[in-house]
Structure 1
Amino acid sequence: MKNLLILWLAVFSLRTAAQQTTDSRQREIVFINVSVIPMTHETVLANQTVLIKNGLITAIGAKLKYDKNALVIDARGKFLMPGLAEMHAHVPPVDEVQPMKDVLLLFAANGVTTIRSMLGHPLHLQLRSQVQSGELLGPRIYTSGPSFSGASIKTPEEAEAKVRSQKKAGYDFMKMHPGITKTNFEAIVKTAKEEKMPFAGHVSFGVGVWRSAEAGYATIDHLDGIVEAMMPRLDTLTEEEAGLFGLFVGHNADIARLDKILKTIKDNGVWIVPTQTLAEHWQSPNRTAKELLAWPEMKYMDQKTLDGWARSKDNTMKNPAYQPASVLKFIDVRRTIIRECQRQGVGLLLGSDAPQVFSVPGFSLKHELSYLVQAGLTPYQALQTGTVNIGKFFRQDNLGVIKPGAVADLVLLNENPLKDVNAVGTVQGVMLNGRWLPKTEIDAMLTKLVKN
């Protein structure tokens, strides 16, 4: 079976390589007359020339010399910015390559040049290598291993063994899911520190956000545990009573408790991936499943998946504890948390949990950016979460910015996202690690990815 999977992956890699991309390792690529949004600071550099060679940005300026055989892209009236990152992605953890490939292409077509895959699978390690080498078209991949949860970890010994196994396998980090006991959590943390293995994701209810932050989570995702920690009677609250991410009780959150929580998170260097899209689409009463399924991007998901998403929303809203007015207050509490993270200097990273409930890969980041702005961030601050902040998180100062020496992960837009973040949806071309994918190829690719 393993050899067959490797063969499938090789075949699909060859098919992907046939797509009409230009590689800056073989031919210099030049943007002329372009407005550059460098994301090193809030500005637009008008009428610039940008040179790309060997996967890197080599020069930026008003008038530059370049190779006579270069691919020249006249981008007059367009805006060039760093590619976006989806920091809570889900490459399908299955034994089939095609679903994985489709998800990667959807991300790429939407200007997503980096993903952090939050539910790993052995094949993801091969995908990561083949994307980096250029054999497979897609965003650069950072991947967790299979998740740690109450179901997958029953003893401290199992916890220790799984940490060491994932480190040895070469995964980038470990994904935490709910249900981990305090004893097993401490075994995970101890071994992770010994192995220098980052961990991130959900906060188990029995562990709580305070201990999770102190233990050194790389990221806390979904604002998990934060709303619960703001509850006046946390000591008597049950996980079932609270609901997912505090859905059923968040309207009673004590905002006065937030500063202390965020200080602990910041002091321990933990980043936050809000995934506000989940709350605004899945949990909110403001949109029905039917309305969400009518959005144009839903055509890229198969009917079985869409039916499952609809059931998830309908089942949530049918829960006796679900009160629409209270849920709207809960969502507003989440917006306050996001706004205060920004104000108090807690690092924010862009993520929408795609493909999950009503989040279509790539397309959902436009919604997430919009919700960050609605929470109180400026367009520039929202864009930082998916660009320059990514470089800071990974400690790579050449990632998520446009400057000489930076990685050539870029997206060309028709409109200025500093005026309206929805402009990230006006993609005219994408550069993935120095490989240029023009709009004509993106359109052809998306046509082939339609599933219903």
Structure 2
Amino acid sequence: MRAALRAFLTLWLLFAGAAFARAETIVFTDVNVVPMDRERVIARTTVIVTDGQITSIGIKAKLPAGTPVVDGKRAWLVPGLADMHNHVTSRDDLSLLLANGVTTMLNMGEATNAFNGRTRIAVNRGEVPGPYVFTAFVVDGDPQYGHFVVRTPDEARAIVRLAKANGYSFMKVYTNLSAEAFAALADEAKRQGIGVVGHNVKAVGLAKQLAAGQAMVAHVEEFFYGFFPEPPADDQNAPPADARIAEAIALVKAHDAFVTSDLFNYRTIAAQFGKPEVVKAYLAAPEARYLSPADRLAWAGSGYQKKAVDLSRRVAFEARFVKAMADADVQLIAGGDAPTIPGQVPGFALHEEIDAMLSAGLTPWQALSAATRTPGAFIAKTVPGAAKFGVIAPGYRADLLLVAENPLEKPATLRAPLGVMAHGRWYDRAALDAMLAEVSARRAAP
């Protein structure tokens, strides 16, 4: 009885807090807009949203009586954040993302059929709270990593068509795909208008993959395996020479490709190799109370802690590499591997990635671009017909984040949004807190 009452009260708080959840038009007044089209601020202005789309900035139109108004009180309005590499498949994890200001996500493989075919559609229609969802279908050349296997060009072409028919926006290529299968997959993807993303394919290499049309490299560290020279036999975890960074940057820019900055992900993996006490610390962290029981068990049994490996020099190199890419205007997008990697809780992990980019020397503008405008550019290039997002401008999706301070000066403000808009719904702080409380209560229950 108490559990049922608690669930009822939590739901009541959630929808009571989201005061303007289904309004057709919502007006934001007295907000400082950080539009992210370029590095600037539009001070103390008005933003009007209609049917989930931004319709005007700075125009005080006459609106019908009773039109919902959010008084910004000089707070800062920025585009919603994008997590472009996760493995979220549950409604609770979608709530965690939204409560952290994430309004767009890309599931990078192994989404369940129910998530891709039912939950994704419901969320993208605005029927279920969560960020706008894109999904990638992952394929490999053998079952070593548990992914869907294709071995021949005919199988590769067929799986592209099947993935498109089932609503996937991307094909994710994995390590052991054959060169012949990759070539067929890349060619069929062009024909079908579906993007190719993913890892280094050992039989091909990143240079040939990008030349064949792969739009995005899913981890910065894939350059260790598919572009930089092999390390010495007696020092397999040695980093590449910094002098080779310029060659990698030239390759990416030549093909107008995107790279996922996963500094926090790689650093988190490196920290736990051979160190079960580190994984225990991850499980004891405050954010871990939001983990599902299955994820808690998976973290506790992770194989990383069973083998000692020193990746510290590669972690340091990767930070220098990402900084160099940012300064060279490589198209970086933010992501990680939550919740599959111990230490990465959905939503919270994206803020850790932003912090990792800042620690690597990126400016707040560069780091925030990787979580807003550049993901929007990536989707615009790779998903035909997708609605525009990532910038506050008329005609763009009204994915919005209201924060207390200027994120271009104090990026930490992004961790505590005053409110979030997604799918035309406004969730104030009370509603976001209720989301978190509901997830915590449900996942703490026996």
Check 1:24–1:65 CA distance in 2 against 1; reply closer, same or farther (3 A cut): farther
Aligned counterparts of 1:283 and 1:44: Cα–Cα separation in 2: 38
Shift of 1:25: 6.5
Match of 1:301 among 291, 300, 308: 291
Aligned counterparts of 1:138 and 1:303: Cα–Cα separation in 2: 21
Aligned: 1:316 with 2:304: yes
What is the letter of the counterpart of residue 144 of structure 1? A
Aligned: 1:122 with 2:119: no
Check 1:58–1:192 CA distance in 2 against 1; reply closer, same or farther (3 A cut): closer
Shift of 1:335: 0.8
Match of 2:198 among 183, 201, 211: 201
Aligned counterparts of 2:85 and 2:395: Cα–Cα separation in 1: 27
Match of 1:364 among 342, 345, 349: 349
Aligned counterparts of 1:249 and 1:372: Cα–Cα separation in 2: 26
Shift of 1:232: 4.1
Match of 2:246 among 234, 254, 259: 259
Query: Which residue of the partner structure matches residue 383 of structure 2?
Result: none
Query: Which residue of the partner structure matches residue 282 of structure 1?
Result: 269
Summarize the alignment of residues 79-118 of structure 1 with structure 2, pairs less than 5 Å apart: 79-92=76-89, 100-118=90-108
| Contact 2:270–2:312 under 8 Å retained in 1 | no
Paired residue secondary structure (2:207): helix
Summarize the alignment of residues 418-437 of structure 1 with structure 2, pairs less than 5 Å apart: 418-437=408-427
Query: Which residue of the partner structure matches residue 291 of structure 1?
Result: 281
More divergent stretch after superposition (108-117 vs 27-36): 27-36
| CA deviation vs aligned residue, 1:249-290 (integer Å, no higher than 9, x gap) | 343312222222221122112100121121121212699223
Match of 2:137 among 142, 145, 148: 145
| Contact 1:24–1:54 under 8 Å retained in 2 | no
Query: Which residue of the partner structure matches residue 15 of structure 2?
Result: 19
| Contact 1:284–1:331 under 8 Å retained in 2 | no
Aligned counterparts of 1:61 and 1:449: Cα–Cα separation in 2: 38
Aligned: 1:393 with 2:378: yes
Check 1:348–1:138 CA distance in 2 against 1; reply closer, same or farther (3 A cut): same
Aligned residues: 414
Paired residue secondary structure (1:252): coil
Check 1:168–1:361 CA distance in 2 against 1; reply closer, same or farther (3 A cut): same
Aligned counterparts of 1:49 and 1:362: Cα–Cα separation in 2: 28
Query: Which residue of the partner structure matches residue 340 of structure 1?
Result: 324
Summarize the alignment of residues 25-40 of structure 1 with structure 2, pairs less than 5 Å apart: 26-40=23-37
Check 1:88–1:48 CA distance in 2 against 1; reply closer, same or farther (3 A cut): same
| Contact 2:24–2:424 under 8 Å retained in 1 | no
Shift of 1:307: 3.7
Aligned: 1:131 with 2:123: yes
What is the letter of the counterpart of residue 369 of structure 1? I
| CA deviation vs aligned residue, 1:7-59 (integer Å, no higher than 9, x gap) | xxxxxxxx99x934456874421222222211112223332222222212222
More divergent stretch after superposition (426-435 vs 25-34): 25-34
Aligned counterparts of 2:82 and 2:67: Cα–Cα separation in 1: 28
Match of 1:328 among 278, 288, 312: 312
| Contact 1:156–1:183 under 8 Å retained in 2 | yes
Shift of 1:409: 0.6
Shift of 1:318: 4.3
Aligned counterparts of 1:397 and 1:304: Cα–Cα separation in 2: 34
More divergent stretch after superposition (369-378 vs 161-170): 161-170
Check 1:204–1:398 CA distance in 2 against 1; reply closer, same or farther (3 A cut): closer
Q: Percent identity?
A: 32
TM-score relative to the length of structure 1: 0.84
| Contact 2:404–2:413 under 8 Å retained in 1 | yes
| Contact 1:27–1:71 under 8 Å retained in 2 | no
Check 1:168–1:256 CA distance in 2 against 1; reply closer, same or farther (3 A cut): same
| Contact 1:28–1:69 under 8 Å retained in 2 | no
Aligned counterparts of 1:146 and 1:317: Cα–Cα separation in 2: 26
Query: Which residue of the partner structure matches residue 48 of structure 1?
Result: 45
What is the letter of the counterpart of residue 88 of structure 1? H
Query: Which residue of the partner structure matches residue 376 of structure 1?
Result: 361
Match of 2:64 among 64, 67, 86: 67
TM-score relative to the length of structure 2: 0.85
| Contact 1:159–1:188 under 8 Å retained in 2 | yes
More divergent stretch after superposition (416-425 vs 224-233): 224-233
| CA deviation vs aligned residue, 1:387-426 (integer Å, no higher than 9, x gap) | 1112211227841111223211101112322122221111
Q: Which runs of 5+ in 2 are unaligned?
A: 1-10, 144-148, 381-385
Query: Which residue of the partner structure matches residue 352 of structure 1?
Result: 336
What is the letter of the counterpart of residue 112 of structure 1? V
Query: Which residue of the partner structure matches residue 11 of structure 1?
Result: none
Aligned counterparts of 1:31 and 1:448: Cα–Cα separation in 2: 28
Query: Which residue of the partner structure matches residue 95 of structure 1?
Result: none
Aligned counterparts of 1:181 and 1:51: Cα–Cα separation in 2: 51
Aligned counterparts of 2:27 and 2:350: Cα–Cα separation in 1: 27
Check 1:191–1:294 CA distance in 2 against 1; reply closer, same or farther (3 A cut): same
Check 1:442–1:149 CA distance in 2 against 1; reply closer, same or farther (3 A cut): farther
Aligned counterparts of 1:416 and 1:295: Cα–Cα separation in 2: 28
